[in-house]
């Protein structure tokens, strides 16, 4: 690899082509900047290629398969039992991914963004070398936006490889495993664990804390736990993984219940006991064909030369930025998973727009009060703004209102009547503080809740908005009416 001696000047250099980087590049181009985007892998980043999109495609396929198995409930009788051709499912999934990544390339081209495939390394405060195996070139930038994303975190002493999978490998399996162990009961572990359980795998989830999906309230996670039990998924909480032992045909995960979450070192052996529930503090093991490790993500900020720049980072590698996504080096901005906050694609895209607009001299600044969080579990969970507990902690006199999908005609006609919508508001003013959804299409319904919060709407505003019937969205109106004390389709016990 040879890097050119002469530097090319560029107005805005974006490093990373994921949902933060490509959005930032397009927005900067819309604002009249000449933009170069450097991406070492595929456009679309982890989200389009190895995360959000492929996982949701497989989750959808698993739901369709589960519906086929229960089709007799609707009077739809199949002549023979349904079966899974998982290789065909994977081919379909990849087609979805390819279509979207191709769309990103077309959008960048249409906006005049130059895309360079290669690895970026800072050669100075305003210079980056972008290299491939064959050649390289230096670029001197006026402004730079870092959007290099994150990668799955490994457990200490238990590296990915063989039968130890990250989410990337779990989405690329050629067949449905007979047995799957999942370490981590956060959103990735629950989504993929439920997906494979619906496809027929025997799934065990080991979570280090005392409950799954700790970012959501117990009234919501209780619904997911109920569905996990129904699907035969075994969930073990307060479980500290001590070792992962691989053999030619299986993997053995040993853990200890009680105490704090942690990990010992992995070993290569093939022995252990059958999994049983033990008293707190006891040890146990689970055998599986694969173990999926979902214990968080790490920012991709190493091996870029950032340590040689006056850019402040914390001990975990996250870059410190201001409200316009500007780092301590005035000409460099950072967005997405490499800055603090939830590792969400829509957060990265939002920050990308803010950074591009700040570079163009606009007064844009981040406001994180209304970032929707979604888990594509079964049932789906979604939240925006404050939870009831957070609102009370912030000093609000809180009023809440909840409405269940069991009383919603559209949910019943879909055969998905489990779940609820909940509003959190200030009692005196009625101003909405937050909202949560657990149930069918929660991922879509949260959009109305986020808009209401962003606009500073009140319970009265939502209650007086006419919602079409029969739709799932009526539950949002009904929950507001409940909080106001005048529900129509719900009996309030006095």
Give the CATH architecture of domain 3-152+298-359: 3-Layer(bba) Sandwich (3.50)
The token pair that represents 118 in the structure block = 């290669």
Q: Is the pLDDT of residue 201 over 60?
A: yes
**For residues 240-256, average pLDDT:** 94
**Torsion region of 44: left, alpha or beta (phi above 0 gives left; psi -120 to 50 gives alpha):** left
How many other β-carbons are positioned within 10 Å of the β-carbon of residue 134?
Answer: 8
CB-count burial class (<10 Å; 0-12, 13-18, 19+) for 78: exposed
DSSP β-bridge partners for residue 373: 383
| pLDDT band, residue 259 (cuts 50/70/90) | low
Q: Are strands 119-124 and 127-131 parallel, antiparallel or unpaired?
A: antiparallel
101 to 17, 27, 142, 345, 444: CA distances (angstroms): 10, 18, 28, 15, 22
Whether residue 356 is predicted with pLDDT greater than 50 in this model: the reply is yes
Q: Please state the pTM of the whole predicted model.
A: 0.90
What is the rounded average pLDDT of the residues 17-46?
96
* Alpha helices, DSSP H, located in 139-206: 167-170, 187-198
| DSSP three-state, residue 203 | strand
Query: Who wins on pLDDT, 271 or 338?
Result: 338
- State the pLDDT at residue 116: 94
CA distances from 324 to 127, 331, 353, 367, 450 (A): 22, 12, 10, 10, 22
Residues 6+ apart with CB under 8 A from 430: 399, 458, 459, 460, 484
- DSSP codes joined into one string, 212-236: S-TTS-HHHHHHHHHHHHHTT-EEE
Average pLDDT value for the chain: 92
- Give yes or no for residue 460 having a pLDDT over 70: yes
Chain center to CA of 114: 29
Mean pLDDT of 231-253: 94
Identify the CATH class of 379-483.
alpha beta
Residue 106 tokens read as 């077309």
pLDDT for res 1: 45
User: Does residue 96 carry a pLDDT above 50?
Assistant: yes
Residue 64, number of CB atoms within 10 A of its CB: 12
d(CA 365, CA 26): 18
Give the tens place of pLDDT for each residue, 154-177.
999 899 999 999 999 999 999 999
- Specify the CATH superfamily of domain 164-293: FAD/NAD(P)-binding domain (3.50.50.60)
For the cut 50, the answer to whether the pLDDT of residue 447 exceeds it is: yes
Taking the C-alpha atoms of residue 189 and residue 285, their distance in angstroms, rounded to an integer, is: 18
379-483 and 164-293 share a CATH fold? no
The predicted pLDDT at position 219 comes to 87
Q: Is residue 278's pLDDT more than 50? A: no
CA distance 111 to 371: 28
Give residue 5's pLDDT. 59
The domain limits of the chain are 3-152+298-359, 164-293, 379-483
Residue 468 banded pLDDT, cuts 50, 70, 90: very high
Q: Is the pLDDT of residue 277 over 50?
A: no
Residue 77 in this model has a pLDDT that exceeds 50: yes
Residue 491's pLDDT band, with cuts at 50, 70 and 90, is confident
Task: Check whether 270 has a pLDDT greater than 60.
Answer: no
pLDDT at 369 over 50: yes
- What pLDDT was estimated at residue 3? 52
Cβ atoms of 175 and 83 closer than 8 Å = no
Instruction: Give catalytic residues, as residue numbers.
Output: 469
Contact 201, 234 (CB under 8 A): no
Residue 466 CB neighbour total at 10 angstroms: 7
The Cα 114–Cα 56 span in angstroms is 30
Which of 142, 134, 108 is CA-nearest to residue 38?
108
Mean pLDDT of 259-284: 41
Reference 342, options 184, 214, 179, 164; nearest CA is 214
Q: So what's the pLDDT on residue 492?
A: 76
Looking at residues 443-457, what average pLDDT do you find?
98
Residue 191, CA distances (Å) to 198, 202, 211, 293 in order = 11, 15, 15, 13
Decide if pLDDT at 248 tops 90. no
Q: Which of 204-213, 373-382, 394-403, 484-493 has the lowest mean pLDDT?
A: 484-493
Alpha-carbon distance of 329 to 310, in angstroms, equals 6
Q: Give the ranges where 111-186 is alpha helix by DSSP (H).
A: 167-170
Instruction: List CB contacts of 366: < 8 A, sequence separation 6 or more.
Output: 323, 324, 325, 350, 351, 354
Q: What is the 3-state secondary structure (H, E, C) of 231-248?
A: CCCEEECCEEEEEEEECC
Pairing of the two strands 179-183 and 202-206 = parallel
Q: CB-based burial of residue 404 (10 Å sphere; 0-12 exposed, 13-18 middle, 19+ buried)?
A: buried
Q: How far is CA 162 from CA 54, 268, 292, 370, 400, in A?
A: 21, 11, 11, 40, 49
């Amino acid at each position: 690899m040879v890097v050119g001696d002469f530097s090319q000047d560029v107005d805005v250099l974006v490093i990373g082509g994921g949902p933060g980087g490509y959005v930032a590049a397009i927005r900067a181009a819309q604002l009249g900047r000449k933009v170069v985007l450097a991406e070492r892998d595929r456009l679309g980043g982890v989200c389009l290629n190895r995360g959000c999109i492929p996982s949701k495609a497989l989750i959808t396929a698993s739901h369709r398969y589960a519906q086929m198995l229960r089709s007799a409930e609707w009077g739809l009788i199949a002549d023979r039992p349904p079966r899974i051709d998982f290789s065909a499912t994977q081919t379909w999934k990849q087609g979805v991914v390819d279509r979207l990544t191709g769309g990103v390339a077309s959008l960048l081209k249409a906006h005049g963004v130059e895309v360079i495939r290669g690895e970026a390394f800072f050669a100075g405060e305003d210079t980056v070398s972008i290299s491939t195996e064959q050649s390289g070139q230096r670029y001197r930038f006026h402004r730079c936006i870092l959007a290099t994303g994150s990668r799955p975190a490994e457990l200490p002493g238990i590296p990915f490889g063989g039968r130890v999978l990250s989410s990337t490998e779990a989405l690329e399996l050629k067949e449905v495993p007979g047995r799957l162990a999942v370490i981590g009961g956060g959103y990735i572990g629950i989504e993929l664990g439920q997906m494979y359980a619906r496809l027929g795998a025997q799934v065990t989830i080991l979570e280090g804390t005392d409950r799954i999906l700790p970012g959501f309230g117990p009234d919501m996670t209780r619904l997911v736990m109920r569905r996990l039990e129904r699907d035969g998924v075994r969930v073990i909480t307060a479980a500290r993984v001590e070792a992962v032992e691989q053999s030619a045909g299986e993997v053995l995960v040993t853990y200890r219940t009680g105490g704090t979450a942690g990990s010992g070192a992995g070993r290569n052996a093939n022995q252990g006991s059958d999994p049983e529930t033990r008293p707190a503090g006891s040890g146990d093991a689970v055998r599986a064909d694969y173990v999926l490790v979902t214990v968080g993500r790490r920012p991709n900020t190493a091996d870029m030369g950032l340590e040689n720049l006056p850019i402040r980072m914390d001990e975990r590698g996250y870059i410190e930025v201001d409200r316009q996504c500007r780092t301590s080096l005035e000409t460099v901005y950072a967005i997405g998973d490499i800055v603090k906050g939830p590792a969400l694609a829509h957060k990265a895209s939002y920050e990308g727009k803010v950074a591009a607009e700040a570079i163009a001299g606009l007064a844009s600044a981040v406001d994180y009060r209304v970032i929707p969080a979604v888990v594509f579990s079964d049932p789906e969970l979604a939240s925006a703004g404050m939870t009831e507990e957070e609102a009370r902690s912030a000093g609000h006199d809180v009023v809440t209102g909840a409405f269940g999908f069991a009383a919603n005609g559209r949910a019943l006609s879909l055969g998905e009547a489990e779940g609820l919508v909940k509003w959190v508001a200030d009692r005196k003013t009625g101003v909405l503080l937050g909202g949560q959804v657990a149930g069918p299409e929660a991922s879509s319904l949260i959009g109305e809740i986020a808009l209401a919060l962003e606009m500073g709407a009140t319970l009265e505003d939502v209650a007086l908005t006419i919602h079409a019937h029969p739709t799932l969205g009526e539950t949002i109106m009904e929950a507001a009416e409940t909080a106001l004390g005048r529900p129509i389709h719900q009996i309030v016990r006095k």
